[in-house]
């Protein structure tokens, strides 16, 4: 046997030996249990929820106070959304969902934290989403048109001028993951793949309407048009209206600011001067009041950072998750202490995922244009009297 034959034989023997080693390694590791920590999800949730636990820790983990978690868990059980199982309790089932949406954790991260399989994590995440969609109509309802929001009635800058205003509306973009052949429809004007979400809120930062699932390329006014169609289920009582920004047309029930005039609060601050016309004054106070919808989206994305990433779910599930999280937001606010929302708002950044472009349709509703002019005139007259009395 010459040197070449000896070398070839050694290489063959080495390959055979490597194959044996790889086979042995793969056969043993694949059958070896992976989630074997003694500190299971059951123990973790029991420790987290025990009386006397640090409230800050509970809130950082679950995005809500302990008593709110318990009330939500009880609702889930009473409405047969979640059931106590021999292998996994209801606290753990709900905790899995909250850890995912509240920390943008991956399925694998949650597997390790709760010592559960990936299929178990997915199962109970989906169960809680379904439950929150069931909760949605209980906590997200259109405002009572017979009640003037106290944020308006108690502030002379807004009352009586905006006494028929019942909320604020705007669109926001949530990052989306879609098949390659659909990316063009979902690419928004900033170049991101997203879904366009219409949100309407009251001035105490509660959602009263959500429409999710629209392509990121869709204009805000088109999404609103669908919301007002029979399938969208959005109605505006006669004589009432929502505040919107200049990206929406002036239409019945929706009042935008004057276009071509300083509007956003930052613009007013940079100008460092008092309003010089009735249009500037109207836009300033309109912006101060409508700012609620930007604040609520900022709080929502701060509290539930899953809304800042591309979610690894089919798109229709991504749209459902948005609705589910807004329902959860309202539920938490309803049942939390008064300062809970303020804590989140202090940490939140203003919503940046918004379209700031003009309306597709420049046709304006004459009645709403007339109403805006009447409000601006009354507001300007009152403002001038206050200025005169101050000298």
pLDDT tens-digit readout, 43-57 = 999 999 999 999 999
- Over pLDDT 70: what percentage of the chain? 83
Residue 229 has pLDDT above 70, yes or no: yes
Strand partners, 201: 168, 207
- How far is residue 145's CA from residue 126's CA, in Å, rounded to a whole number? 35
Packing angle of the helix pair 55-62, 66-78 (nearest 10 deg): 50
Cα 148 to chain centroid, rounded: 26
Q: Which structure tokens are listed for 181?
A: 């052949």
Q: E strands, 226-353, where? A: 241-243, 254-255
In Å, how far are 221, 244, 363, 364 from 359, measured between CA atoms?
7, 11, 9, 10
- Which stretch of 89-93, 104-108, 176-180, 346-350 has the lowest confidence by average pLDDT? 346-350
Predicted pLDDT of residue 15 = 60
CA 176, 177, 179 angle in degrees (round to 5)? 135
Round the average pLDDT of the chain to a whole number and report it. 89
CA distances from 253 to 223, 245, 250, 360, 372 (A): 15, 13, 9, 18, 12
Per-residue pLDDT, averaged over 306-330, amounts to 97
Strand order in the sheet with 254-255: 207-215, 194-201, 165-175, 241-243, 254-255
> How much is the pLDDT for 38?
85
| Domain segments of the chain as ranges | 41-139, 150-389
The pLDDT confidence band at residue 268, using thresholds 50, 70 and 90, is: low
């Amino acid at each position: 046997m010459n040197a070449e034959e000896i070398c070839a034989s050694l290489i063959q023997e080495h390959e055979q030996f490597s194959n044996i080693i790889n086979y042995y390694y793969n056969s043993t590791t694949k059958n070896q249990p992976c989630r074997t920590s003694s500190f299971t999800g059951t123990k973790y949730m029991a420790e987290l929820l025990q009386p006397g636990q640090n409230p800050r820790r509970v809130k950082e983990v679950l995005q809500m106070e302990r008593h709110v978690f318990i009330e939500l868990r009880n609702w889930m059980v009473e409405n047969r959304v979640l059931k106590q199982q021999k292998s996994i309790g209801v606290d753990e089932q709900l905790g899995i969902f909250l850890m995912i949406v509240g920390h943008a954790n991956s399925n694998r991260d949650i597997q390790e934290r709760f010592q559960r399989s990936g299929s178990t994590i997915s199962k109970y995440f989906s169960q809680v989403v379904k439950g929150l969609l069931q909760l949605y109509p209980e906590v997200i309802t259109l405002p009572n048109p017979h009640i003037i929001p106290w944020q308006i009635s108690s502030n002379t800058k807004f009352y009586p001028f905006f006494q028929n205003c019942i909320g604020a509306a705007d669109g926001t973009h949530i990052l989306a993951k879609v098949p390659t052949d659909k990316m063009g429809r979902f690419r928004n004007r900033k170049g991101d793949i997203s879904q366009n979400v219409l949100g309407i809120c009251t001035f105490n930062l509660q959602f009263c309407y959500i429409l999710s699932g629209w392509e990121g390329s869709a204009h805000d006014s088109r999404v609103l048009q669908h919301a007002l169609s029979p399938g969208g289920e959005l109605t505006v009582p006669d004589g009432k209206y929502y505040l919107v920004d200049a990206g929406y047309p002036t239409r019945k029930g929706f009042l935008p600011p004057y276009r071509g005039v300083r509007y956003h609060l930052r613009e007013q601050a940079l100008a460092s001067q008092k309003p010089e016309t009735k249009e500037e004054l109207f836009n300033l106070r309109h912006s101060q009041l409508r700012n609620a919808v930007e604040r609520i989206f900022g709080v929502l994305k701060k509290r539930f950072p899953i809304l800042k990433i591309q979610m690894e779910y089919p798109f229709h599930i991504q749209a459902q998750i948005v609705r589910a999280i807004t329902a959860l937001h309202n539920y938490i606010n309803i049942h939390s202490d008064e300062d809970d929302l303020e804590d989140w708002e202090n940490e939140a950044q203003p919503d940046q995922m918004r379209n700031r472009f003009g309306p597709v349709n420049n046709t304006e509703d004459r009645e709403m244009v007339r109403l805006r002019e009447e409000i601006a005139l009354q507001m300007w007259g009152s403002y001038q009297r206050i200025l005169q009395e101050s000298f």
